[in-house]
Structure 1
Amino acid sequence: MQFHRRWHLPKVISFDLDDTLYDNVPVMQRTEEVAHSYIAEQYPQTAEWDMHHWRRFRDEVSRTDETFASDMTKLRLKTLELGLEKFGVDDSARAANTIMDVFLSERSNFEVPQDSIKLLEALSQRYKLIALSNGNVNADKIGLAKYFELVIQPGDGIRGKPLPDMFAAAERKLPELQPHEFLHVGDHPYSDILGAQRHGWQSAWLTSGLGTTAHLSVLPTVTLHNLNQLQRLLLD
């Protein structure tokens, strides 16, 4: 554990979800495989595109609209619609929504580690807990929604981190609090740490996720190497 900025004991703990409270990499790998198998089975005319083709096409689509950068559900849905349209699939928008339903169902088909569950249970006895996630996991389906007073994700005009929308939405729901009374915990140097610090929140960078020191553009309030250190920081 290493402090980089002045520390204030927070009143609200905000969590990123993917790769902070659980390893999301194998979840996404399996989910994409399931979704691609469904596409290949239901729409055999797309057979010449493997998962890598779809990913490259998704990158192309992402460059056509800046809002896609902070809303992966919107991006995936548009990628599916345009890709299916290329192969002459009838009513590609309806087909894309059906595939997205398959994707989202598998996306939330996993168990959160018990260590993370126990941490949330303990923290919720002392702090308000909220979740700010750029991903599209269903927090209720994976058993986490009951620990959070708010779960905010992109959509309905709210853009993802590091843009200010999600942080501002949380502040509107908790207007009695000052920005420095929020602590955002996340693994991503850009969306989590830059986003929180830029909005005046404290931030805890969890290095056990996907980010590296080279990706930091601003220093977090505190660097943590695992969730046990967060428990010691906030509960001991």
Structure 2
Amino acid sequence: MEFFRALGPIAALSFDLDDTLYDNGPVIEQAEAWMVAHMRDAYLQTAMCDRAWWQAQKQQLWREQPALKHDVSLCRRRLLARGLEWGGMAAAEAAHEADKVFTQFLEIRSRVEVPDATRQVLAALAERFPLVVITNGNVLLERLGLDHHFQHVLKAGGGFAMKPAPDLFAQMADRLGLPPARILHVGDDVTTDVLGALHNGYRSAWLNDRGRSLQALRRLPDLMLNRLDELLNLI
């Protein structure tokens, strides 16, 4: 743990999820591969669509509807429906099938392996602080067995822009009934988490468990963590 400025009194802890509380990379890769294979096997309309085709369609969707960048779940459903419609399926049926596939995708995307150390840290912190989640992702927290640690969970989408935009940070401060400066946001991403927290008045703890250079930062966080369990020093 390394401090870059005086932290001041902290009344609550906010957490990013993906790549902060667990390694998100493997499960996302598995879910993406499953989606491409399933759409090839289950639907004639997308039987010839490979991963590169789906990626190109996503980029096109973002160009046409930039707001979809802030809602990963809605974007995924629109992407699936677009593929089915491209193959000739009627729009209403495509939307229905897309919702079914998305439900399966989300379950697979949520098969995350959470380290026991993470569970122990959260359990200990929850005895001292209110814990909350601010995430741009769409993992099903209840599938991870972590939901009972958190008093509030806010996800981008549904009218909330992604971090580092103010939406989620401002809404969470309101829900906690705390000034932002009394909330410490913990996350791995130098833009969405570190800059997002600092630009919106939160304190920032950068989880740098991969040994990245400080040059990756555009602004210094309040503190840097080499391991998540270093947060226990705040108790």
Aligned counterpart, 2:219: 218
In structure 1, C-alpha distance between the alignment counterparts of 2:13 and 2:230, rounded to whole Å:
14
The amino acid across from 1:174 in the alignment is: L
- 1:49-68 to structure 2, matched below 5 A, reads 49-68=49-68
- Whether the aligned pair in 1 keeps the contact of 2:205 and 2:221 (CA below 8 Å) is yes
Once the 2 structures are TM-superposed, how far is the Cα of residue 125 of structure 1 from its aligned partner? 0.5
Aligned counterpart, 1:104: 106
Q: Does residue 204 of structure 1 match 2:205?
A: yes
Aligned counterpart, 1:29: 29
Once the 2 structures are TM-superposed, how far is the Cα of residue 211 of structure 1 from its aligned partner? 7.4
Once the 2 structures are TM-superposed, how far is the Cα of residue 108 of structure 1 from its aligned partner? 1.3
Q: 1:49 to 1:159 in 2, by over 3 A?
A: same
| Gaps in structure 1 of 5+ consecutive residues | none
SS of equivalent residue, structure 1 residue 161: coil
Aligned counterpart, 2:150: 148
| Gaps in structure 2 of 5+ consecutive residues | none
RMSD of aligned alpha carbons: 1.8
Q: 1:16 to 1:32 in 2, by over 3 A?
A: same
Aligned counterpart, 2:121: 119
Which structure carries more helix by proportion? 2
In structure 1, C-alpha distance between the alignment counterparts of 2:78 and 2:34, rounded to whole Å:
19
In structure 2, C-alpha distance between the alignment counterparts of 1:231 and 1:36, rounded to whole Å:
42
- Whether the aligned pair in 2 keeps the contact of 1:193 and 1:204 (CA below 8 Å) is yes
Q: 1:210 to 1:28 in 2, by over 3 A?
A: farther
Aligned counterpart, 1:74: 74
- Whether the aligned pair in 1 keeps the contact of 2:182 and 2:203 (CA below 8 Å) is yes
% same residue: 36
- Whether the aligned pair in 2 keeps the contact of 1:188 and 1:209 (CA below 8 Å) is no
Aligned counterpart, 1:133: 135
Runs of 4+ displaced beyond 3 Å: 209-215
- Whether the aligned pair in 1 keeps the contact of 2:72 and 2:157 (CA below 8 Å) is no
Once the 2 structures are TM-superposed, how far is the Cα of residue 178 of structure 1 from its aligned partner? 1.7
Once the 2 structures are TM-superposed, how far is the Cα of residue 69 of structure 1 from its aligned partner? 2.1
In structure 2, C-alpha distance between the alignment counterparts of 1:190 and 1:130, rounded to whole Å:
19
Aligned length: 233
The amino acid across from 1:40 in the alignment is: R
- Whether the aligned pair in 1 keeps the contact of 2:14 and 2:132 (CA below 8 Å) is yes
In structure 1, C-alpha distance between the alignment counterparts of 2:102 and 2:212, rounded to whole Å:
27
Q: 1:117 to 1:56 in 2, by over 3 A?
A: same
Q: 1:31 to 1:212 in 2, by over 3 A?
A: farther
